[in-house]
Amino acid sequence: MFQEIIDWSNLNPGPLSIILTVVVIIIGWFTGFLKFIFNRLFRKDSPYIKAGGNISAGGDITVGNKKIQQTIKGNSNQQAGRDIINHLPQKNKPILDLDRNMVVSGGPTGNCIRFEIVNIGDSTAIDIKYYFSYNYNEIDRSTEIYVASNKLIPKEKTHTIEFQYRDDDIFKKEVKNLKINFKYKDTENKIYHSGRNLTQEKRADGNFNINGSLQSFFIE
């Protein structure tokens, strides 16, 4: 039989070459298809990150057989992204706080509190101001701190600041939501707010002192 095919091919070279070409094309296509199916079903060591639109929040990113990351859980990919941002460390920003308890002094004519402000962040703070607020309204008083060219580098604190209050509501009556607020910028002029909640103590004469003990810290 094979001899007959050879004899026929010698007599008809044109048709045989066409047939052989078609056969080679079919074999090549079939081989590629089998390779594709094999890789999809059996290979687990792909060097590419496997991802797609169906990755859910909290899912794993895998390279080869090794799990390299697990995202923060959330209701959607967008929410998970916001959660990741919210959980990032507070880096490359200034954060101002009271260095220690405030010292309270004074008499019948009014009171004075003394305190120091410290930069507990890891970036320089500039254009530093402080003010007291209560009932979500600012007292009509704002004092700017002039120290070290109006800036505080990380871990640096101000000189002792004195704030006298005798005609303010915080001296004359009990107020709500009393706070000391710090307003400042970083070196790129981004504005920050932080501070401490405060409490009052009633005096024998009916007026009020600011309690010097540190209360809860806040940052905005």
Whether the CA torsion 81, 83, 84, 88 is positive or negative: it is positive
Where exactly are the structural domains of the chain? 1-43, 44-88, 96-219
Handedness of CA 200, 203, 206, 208 (dihedral sign): negative
Q: Tens of pLDDT along 18-60? A: 665 556 567 666 677 677 666 665 554 444 334 444 444 444 4
Write out the chain's pLDDT in tens, 220 residues.
Answer: 545 555 555 565 566 556 655 565 676 666 776 776 666 655 544 443 344 444 444 444 333 444 333 333 344 444 444 344 344 455 789 999 999 899 988 766 668 889 999 999 999 999 999 888 888 665 545 444 444 358 999 999 998 888 888 777 888 889 888 999 999 999 999 999 999 999 999 988 888 888 989 899 999 8
> 100 and 136 in contact (C-beta within 8 Å)?
no
Strand, coil or helix: 9: helix
Q: What's the CA gap between 58 and 55, in Å, rounded?
A: 9
- 96-219 to CATH, choices 3.40.50, 1.10.3210, 2.60.40, 1.10.357: 2.60.40
* Residues 6+ positions from 73 with CB-CB distance below 8 Å: 57, 58, 80, 83
Residue 13 is predicted with a pLDDT of 58
Residue (of 121, 129, 73) closest to 96 by Cα position: 121
Residue 165: predicted pLDDT: 80
pTM of the model as a whole: 0.55
Please report, in angstroms and rounded to a whole number, the separation of the first and last CA atoms in the chain.
91
Question: Phi then psi for 42, rounded to 5 degrees?
Answer: -120, -25
Determine the pLDDT at residue 30: 67
Beta-bridge mates of residue 133: 138, 179
Q: How many residues belong to the chain?
A: 220
